[in-house]
């Protein structure tokens, strides 16, 4: 399946869940940058993106993230 993933990434085809996950990751990164902490000592529970979005997702969805 590696070849299909490469083709998909080249064509930039994303489904809705991938777009949502990417948005959450980027928002979390931006929010973490504002704290000025070290990347190896991140406490996700202190970030609003996690507490307001990810924590209310169903377990299957959180696992996929």
Residue 44 in any domain: the answer is yes
Question: Domain range holding 31?
Answer: 14-64
Residue 8 in any domain: the answer is no
Residue 28 in any domain: the answer is yes
Provide the domain count of the chain.
1
pLDDT of residue 65: 62
Specify the DSSP class assigned to residue 53. T
Judge if pTM exceeds 0.75.
no
pLDDT of residue 27: 86
Residue 56 in any domain: the answer is yes
Per-residue confidence in pLDDT tens, the chain, 65 aa: 577 777 767 766 667 777 888 888 888 888 888 887 777 777 888 888 888 888 777 877 777 76
Residue 29 in any domain: the answer is yes
Residue 4 in any domain: the answer is no
Residue 5 in any domain: the answer is no
pLDDT of residue 55: 77
Residue 9 in any domain: the answer is no
């Amino acid at each position: 399946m590696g070849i299909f993933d490469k083709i998909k990434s080249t064509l930039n085809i994303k489904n809705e869940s991938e777009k949502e996950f990417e948005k959450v990751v980027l928002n979390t990164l931006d929010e973490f940058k504002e704290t000025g902490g070290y990347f190896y000592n991140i406490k996700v529970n202190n970030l609003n993106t996690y507490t307001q979005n990810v924590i209310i997702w169903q377990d299957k969805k959180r696992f996929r993230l």
